[in-house]
Amino acid sequence: MKAFLHRVIPVVLGLVLCASAGASRRFDAATIERGRYLATASDCIACHTAHHNGAPMAGGLVMSSPVGDIVSTNITPSKRHGIGDYTEQQFADALRKGIRADGQPLYPAMPYVSYAALTDPDVHALYAYFMEGVPAVEKAAPHTSLPFPMNVRMSMKVWNALFLDPQPLARTEGRSAQWLRGRYLAEGAAHCSTCHTPRGALMQEKKELNMAGSQVGQWYAPNITPHPTAGIGSWSEAELAQYLRTGRLEGKSQAAGSMAEAITYSFSHLEQADLDAIAHYIKSLPPVDLGETGTPGAPRFGQGQAGHALGEVRGQGYAAGMAGPQLGAQVYSANCASCHGASGEGTRDGYYPSLFHNSATVGKTNLIAAILLGVDRKTADGHVFMPPFGDQPNALNRLSDKEVAALANYIGVKFGGGDASVKPEDIAVIRQGGPRSPLLTMARVGMAIGVLVLLALAFTIVRRRRGKVGA
Amino acid sequence: MIPSTISRRRALQVLGGATLLGAAGQLLSASRTRIAGELAGPGLDAFTAVSRTLTGKAALDPALSLALYHALRADAPDFDGQMAALAATLAQGKALAGDKMAFSEAQAPQQALSQAILQGWYLGVVGKGSKAVSVAFVDALANRAVAAVLTPPSYSYGPCGSWQARP
Amino acid sequence: MNNELSADVVVIGAGICGALLARKLAQAGHAVLMLESGPRVGRAELVERYRHSAFKSDFMAPYPFSEKAPHPVFTPQPNNYIEQAGPHAFSAQYIRMLGGTSWHWAAQMWRYLPSDFRTASQYGVGKDWPISYDELEPYYYEAELIAGVGGSPDTGSPRSQPFPMERVPASWFQQRITERLAPQFQVIDDSTARNSRSFDNRPACCGNNNCMPVCPIDAQYHGGIAAASAEAAGVRTITEAVVYRLEHDAKGAIAAAHYYDWDKVSHRVTGKTFVVAANAIESARLLLLSASDKYPNGLANGSDSVGRNLCDHPAIGVTFDVDEPVWPGRGPVSPCSIGQFRDGAFRSEHAPFRIDISNASQVANVTRELIGQGYHGVKLEGAIRDRAARRVSIKNALEQLPDRNNRVTLGEAKDALGLPVPRIAWDIDDYVIKGTEQTRRRYDEIAAQLGATNVKHSKPGKFGNRQHITGTLSMGHDPADSVTDAYGRAHDHPNLYMAGTGVMPTVGTCNVTLTAVALALRTAEKIGSELRHA
């Protein structure tokens, strides 16, 4: 439904706006359409629209970040509640410099670090789309208020001075047009590195480890460098383009969480030539191995094999199975096997994927997130739906931290080449939104130390003065 | 994923054997190790041999054989003795000569025992009434026999509508 | 005694009807309390209990038996919870658990035919309902929207709106049977609450072929989903609460419900309006248990009709082996049926019937049969494949006419809480017997058209119960021979309502749940408007 609204309503209302007597149109239809395509490639809608019937681009989506919750803003052309009063220069500054119209910096949850690559004509087209292609929504989005000192936006100016590169795409020689287009989209509009690149202590992207994998809230955005075992070196360019278009590569991987969203709202709508260009570029990146996942030397798509432990639990009854040492096997049989098969083999044609030869079961995070949050992905191929097993209203089987940990260990060992190292505490962390960054504590401690140092300094100065006076 | 060049049935047969062996080896819990230790021996071997004769299969899952033997023994204390007698009768060659069993009137208990063993292998159920217990479901031979076309009830067949195609 | 609980509306029984009635009232802003005698059990446990079960063809086996909220059990031994006065045993199956009996069904949600509501005036048999099809039609649709119902529109039940759910695609089995039985027999898609796409945050059917006893993935609607949605809407739910008496005041208004928790501590719950929705047998039992000095025959029983007019759909079946492999067992368990014998002038003479063609896997059945026949070795395995591919199982649902002598009363024995168990007297009338003769003729024709061998009819004189239990709380215009009015309100007690299949005066020609749910939604509306104007 949202995709439908996203596509049809702007066009229809654009036409209506054309026809209405009072409105004066500054932009032609072709520019607005190019802006719409670029907005799709940039996936603005995914963050700037609240889930469950939010109006498109009207903000209100609460995003859990390691330093607190950030709420997206209304970027419809509403003058009171949105960006209707923005000039093109202000729009460009927000997009590429992370500065709002009132001069305050934005938080880099808005990937202006990537969008800094956008060219002037493309920014112009985007401006045209947001001014005249998006219906105005007269409703304010809630404000973001991060805990102190993160709510002091001016500190972002220092961060930007350190980490915002106004020309993020270096000049190169001898690269094909397809590679350049791919880099422009992947590093710019599609902002892949925002999720897939690991971050440093101050939460800046570590460019030397570009696309080597990073935790994003409850999910792990995996290594997409062409490393043969740690990354997607075993994928062809055509396979990567197919994955972007459909969200699935049989026998290898499927998209969930934010990537499923990105595929549903962005990648699946891009032209094949652009998908091919992105794939071509990504496959040209330097291969990196962070040593994160699975059995060393084996790619994360080739781990595990079919199997079950039903012999351990049959003949005893459900209650005994749940109380005994085979908790993981019993939970698997009771909750997962109905779709994923008694031996993890999935269904014919992989509609319900097998759990071996599946990158989702390698490593801990995405396995846990998939269990707790499920998968919900719509493309032209259809609707892929795995129900969640967390605390959601439609989770008719709510699994406890202990049950999910046992299940994740069972699946990880049996199908993912892993060890049984998941603990109930790991589940609790994912359930509450993902790991918290130490940055907040560091900042507060740093400030406290700073205050103490100043106090000590002041004390020393006062004492010396008194001393001088007294002497 | 199972390559499409191998028939699904063949793949499942291979997987089934491998997984049961794997399961038996990998995840043999302490109690099952103890049971396996207690039960291994001529009694289990005789049961497995009789099972091969009755099912006509040269290779039977060792883990399922163990589980069935354990359950059948619990159901009938003199099971080993009954096994020996049944093996002797079957060795005479008459009872299983035709498509259907042909035990004599006097051997009716042995026919019942043979059918109970077949029920265990094919349906995974041992015993009757309050003493009935299910020791296998997906690995029961009846489910394996039709695995090229059907998945056992409660496991998914495929995406909605995939059952339209002719099997 | 604990006296703290109170609500605007107290609903007794958290099955599909009670839960959806409660939910509708909670959504309208009323304070609703739902009391369920049984426990809360998760789906994962039920699925695994099925897989662990040695009696997989007993659909009750996965459902735990609760001593304090007993229900009939059949395997491994019958518990004889219901005393059977005969002549025919009424083998009722119901589940006392949060969500009720529709946990194990095939989600068949049929509308009655218009003539089902007026068989007395039209055919001179049975009873007329106090409402018409047209009056119930909007509530039929409301229920279909909630549950996601789809199917063939050629049912004989007129629709103002199309089905909200696209029908589930037909398996190869259904396609072949349909082709070969045409044109003499028209096989249609059943009206079912089964997802053919993701709906209501539940996945589409993926062919687990386990609808009965339990859908492992909730692709079909059932009372458990209704109960969860009621709780999500703000209905306060207390499980393991066995209501054993309704207390009334001097004027006959219901003042409170008394329940035992499972430690046999009694609690008293007050409210403005009370709804008994504890299935057709247990609801009648509760009304009879609530007998007092003023109402020595039980509550709502001025007509001496509580528990009477008990009906089910008696069923006979046939199995045979078709002459080509058709492979039942792929897709849902009850996908199609023949409806052309539901209506017609013949209803003055003999029972109408609906014929259900099962798509349940026949593997276990044929295996048991073949082992019993002495097959062994390689031949056994080949025979299993051959027969499982060709075995067809058909059963019907015959309309039984209401008879006051078919009734639920209180028995001699007592359950674990000291409450008298239900006792049932039930007989099969000539109307049904003549209907079975017609059915057998049709079965033979169907078998012939499919080139069938090994045709086995169910034993003459023996009937199965379809568990479509109606009549014990019949609605009607006349307080002299009905328990409730057209809204399910007890004639004798203005603040007592009833919901569930028990209020249905006739059992009709199809599965009864959709009609019961539609009536419950209509009753909820009535209760709501009465509370607003009070």
| Domain range list for chain A | 25-168, 310-431, 439-471
Please tell me the distance in Å from B155's CA to the nearest CA on chain A.
Answer: 4
Give the pTM: 0.83
Q: Measuring CA to CA, how many Å separate C495 from each of C255, C522, C529? A: 9, 16, 13
3-state secondary structure of C471: coil
User: Which of A341, A308, A334 has the alpha carbon at shortest distance from A319?
Assistant: A334
Along the 534 residues of chain C, how does pLDDT read in single tens digits? 556 799 999 999 999 999 999 999 999 999 999 999 999 999 989 999 999 899 999 999 999 999 999 999 998 999 999 999 989 999 999 999 999 999 999 999 999 999 999 999 999 999 999 999 999 999 999 999 999 999 999 999 999 999 999 999 999 999 999 999 999 999 999 999 999 999 998 999 999 999 999 999 999 999 999 999 999 999 999 999 999 999 999 999 999 999 999 999 999 999 999 999 999 999 999 999 999 999 999 999 999 999 999 999 999 999 999 999 999 999 999 999 999 999 999 999 999 999 999 999 999 999 999 999 999 999 999 999 999 999 999 999 999 999 999 999 999 999 999 999 999 999 999 999 999 999 999 999 999 999 999 999 999 989 999 999 999 999 999 999 999 999 999 999 999 999 999 999 999 999 999 999 999 999 999 999 999 987
CA torsion sign, C412 to C415 to C418 to C419?
Answer: negative
3-state secondary structure of B41: coil
Partners of residue C169 in chain B, C-beta under 8 Å: 160-161, 163-164
Q: In the prediction, which pLDDT does A296 show?
A: 55
CATH number of A310-431: 1.10.760.10
- Those chains having 3 or more beta-carbon pairs within 8 angstroms of chain B are A, C
C197 to chain A, any CB pair closer than 8 A? The answer is yes
Partners of residue C52 in chain A, C-beta under 8 Å: 313-318
Report the pLDDT averaged over residues A208-224.
88
Predicted confidence (pLDDT) at residue A9 exceeds the cutoff of 60:
yes
Phi and psi at residue C2, to the nearest 5°:
-95, 130
The Cα B60–Cα B58 span in angstroms is 7
Q: How many domains does chain C have?
A: 1
For the beta carbon of residue A207, count every other beta carbon within 10 angstroms: 11
Partners of residue B136 in chain A, C-beta under 8 Å: 310-311, 314
Please tell me the distance in Å from B61's CA to the nearest CA on chain C.
Answer: 16
To the query of whether residue C313 is one of the catalytic residues in this protein, the response is no
* Boundaries of domain holding C465: 2-533
Write down the catalytic residue from C468, C477, C491, C533: C468
Q: In the prediction, which pLDDT does C377 show?
A: 93
C151 to chain A, any CB pair closer than 8 A? The answer is no
Phi and psi at residue A214, to the nearest 5°:
-160, 150
Asked if B20's CB is within 8 angstroms of A337's CB, the reply is no
Report the pLDDT averaged over residues A197-226.
87
Q: In the prediction, which pLDDT does A11 show?
A: 63
Asked if C232's CB is within 8 angstroms of A393's CB, the reply is yes
Please tell me the distance in Å from B132's CA to the nearest CA on chain C.
Answer: 6
Please tell me the distance in Å from B39's CA to the nearest CA on chain C.
Answer: 23
Q: In the prediction, which pLDDT does C395 show?
A: 96
The 10s digit of each residue's pLDDT in A188-200 is 999 999 999 988 8
A433 to chain B, any CB pair closer than 8 A? The answer is no
The Cα A369–Cα A260 span in angstroms is 13
Asked if B15's CB is within 8 angstroms of A350's CB, the reply is no
Locate tokens 């440093």: which residue?
A: A200
Asked if C367's CB is within 8 angstroms of B122's CB, the reply is yes
Predicted confidence (pLDDT) at residue A147 exceeds the cutoff of 90:
no
- CA angle, A8 then A14 then A15, to 5°: 95
Partners of residue B123 in chain A, C-beta under 8 Å: none
H-assigned helices in B124-163: 141-145
Q: Across chain B, which distance is largest between two alpha carbons, in Å?
A: 53
Those of residues 84-143 in B touching chain C at CB distance below 8 A are: 96, 99-102, 111, 114-115, 118-119, 122-123, 125, 127, 129-134, 137, 141-143
For the beta carbon of residue A228, count every other beta carbon within 10 angstroms: 12
Which of B8, B19, B154 is opposite residue A307, by nearest beta carbon? B19
Q: In the prediction, which pLDDT does A145 show?
A: 83
User: Which of C452, C405, C442 has the alpha carbon at shortest distance from C427?
Assistant: C405
3-state secondary structure of A221: strand
Partners of residue A379 in chain C, C-beta under 8 Å: none
Asked if C206's CB is within 8 angstroms of A334's CB, the reply is no
Both tokens of A106, joined, read: 């934005």
- The pLDDT averaged over each successive group of 10 residues in chain B (167 residues) is 40 38 36 64 90 94 91 88 92 89 90 95 93 91 95 93 94
Domain of C418, CATH number, reads: 3.50.50.60
User: Which of C523, C526, C520, C527 has the alpha carbon at shortest distance from C143?
Assistant: C520
Q: In the prediction, which pLDDT does A199 show?
A: 87
